[in-house]
Amino acid sequence: MEYFLSEQQKTIKSLARRIAEERILPVRAELDEKEEFPWAIMKDLADADMFRVFIPEEYEGLGGGCLELCLVVEELSRVCGAVATCYAVNALGCFTLMDCGTEEQKRKYLPDVASGKRLTAFAITEPTAGSDVGAIKTTAERVEGGYVLNGTKQYITNGGEAEIYTVIALTDKTKGARGASALLVEKDTPGFSFGKKEKKMGIRASATRELIFRNCLVPEENLIGKEGAGFIMTMKLFDKSRPGIGAQAVGLAQGALEAAVDYTRQRIQFGQPLISLPVVQDILADMATQVEAARALVYAAARTVDSGAKKVTEESAMAKVFASDVAMKVTIDAVQICGGAGYMRDYPLEKMMRDAKITQIYEGSNQVLRNAIAIELRKRRAKTE
């Protein structure tokens, strides 16, 4: 399929593919087995200017947008969904700062993110606030010179590894979600520590930890945007970041498709390669069609985000939901047509299947996002009546 990428976009995509094949492929199984954060690969990505891709030029980035980010995430995920997560979450961790931060905040933090010197993370989820993010309890009490954070964040990607955290907390707990604000918290701030590292089904090389705040004083200049705007900024952030999860899903599905084609071409049963069996051909044809449809939707959603369109909730949610469902189906089908080999850890498919599952869960589960899409449909119809 022709996606009319610019020369720069093609260069970014092929560079990401090269790093994935040369640096990630040889170690992906080991990283998964050891559940080890891929610091050496983060350095390779930094050396290749991959962290600059999604940062504006004035802050030492390459000035790319959502589509450029998706191209890198797709290529990394084609080889390893976990490494792609460790990389992609840096965009999630600094998009709010990029869109709503002051000039001073951006100058202070973004060049270090662009160079890959400091990783970032984003924290809203809590033990009692998952899909219902409006139920967060972490507080940021206003005091002389800043805010005192108290509470626990759960399941935070890059937790413990990142140095800059965008944390959503209540500056006014009487107002619920409308009293939430976004604060930048640096790793070494007194009162900020890390709880348990989660043991996960998939994306095991990525770190998922609890963040614990106990009387943690954050300077007032670290407030992003206005007090009380934290929840709205988060919804806008997810509108912008969800195509990236779609891209992760597309990459995983593409990787599984290629591995399944390779395996079924060389596996001989009943005197012929498996790929000669009509039933296998049907499955592969469906897999390929679904991957391409998901890619088209993800690129279209990313381009809509980059167009500066005011509201992209629906497009962005559709891309994430569709692509992640495709990734799950395609990776399961790939395991199936490769039989016992597909199930074994010597082959990459069982890992791709485990990695794909998370794309249906994080940044809004697919059930919650289907609700969101339906609400938008209803609103649009009501406007025409």
294 or 358: CB nearest ligand FAD: 358
CA proximity to 100, closest of 211, 246, 243, 228:
228
Give the nearest distance from C-beta 249 to ligand FAD in angstroms: 14
Phi and psi at residue 200, in whole multiples of 5°? Answer: -110, 160
54 or 155: CB nearest ligand FAD: 155
140 or 274: CB nearest ligand FAD: 140
Please name every residue paired with 146 in a beta bridge, in sequence order, or none if there are none: 143, 219
Give residue for tokens 């959502």: 66
147 or 362: CB nearest ligand FAD: 362
Give the nearest distance from C-beta 92 to ligand FAD in angstroms: 7
DSSP state of 319: H
What is the distance of C-alpha 154 from the center of its chain? 16
Give the nearest distance from C-beta 132 to ligand FAD in angstroms: 6
Contacts of 10 (CB under 8 A, 6+ apart): none
85 or 222: CB nearest ligand FAD: 85
Choice among 35, 363, 376, 385 that is catalytic: 363
Numbers of helices and strands, H then E, in the chain? 12, 10
**Please, are residues 93 and 142 in contact by the beta-carbon 8 Å criterion?**
no
Tallying the residues shown for the chain, one arrives at 385
Other Cβ atoms less than 10 A from the Cβ of 234: the count is 21
For residue 226, the one-letter residue type is K
Give the nearest distance from C-beta 368 to ligand FAD in angstroms: 5
Give the nearest distance from C-beta 286 to ligand FAD in angstroms: 25
Give residue for tokens 């507080």: 139
124 or 298: CB nearest ligand FAD: 124
Give the nearest distance from C-beta 234 to ligand FAD in angstroms: 9
Give the nearest distance from C-beta 123 to ligand FAD in angstroms: 5
3-state SS, 17-58, equals HHHHHHHHHHHHHHHHHHCCCCHHHHHHHHHCCHHHCCCCHH
341 or 361: CB nearest ligand FAD: 361
Decide if 58 is catalytic.
Answer: no
Please tell me the distance from the alpha carbon of residue 210 to that of residue 189, in angstroms, as a whole number: 16
Chain residues in the site for ligand FAD (CB under 6 A): 89, 121-125, 130-131, 155-157, 200, 208, 358, 361-365, 367-368, 371
**Torsion angle, alpha carbons of 82, 88, 93, 99, to 10:** -170
Locate 256 and state its tokens. 């599984």
Please tell me the distance from the alpha carbon of residue 291 to that of residue 114, in angstroms, as a whole number: 31
- Residues marked as catalytic: 363
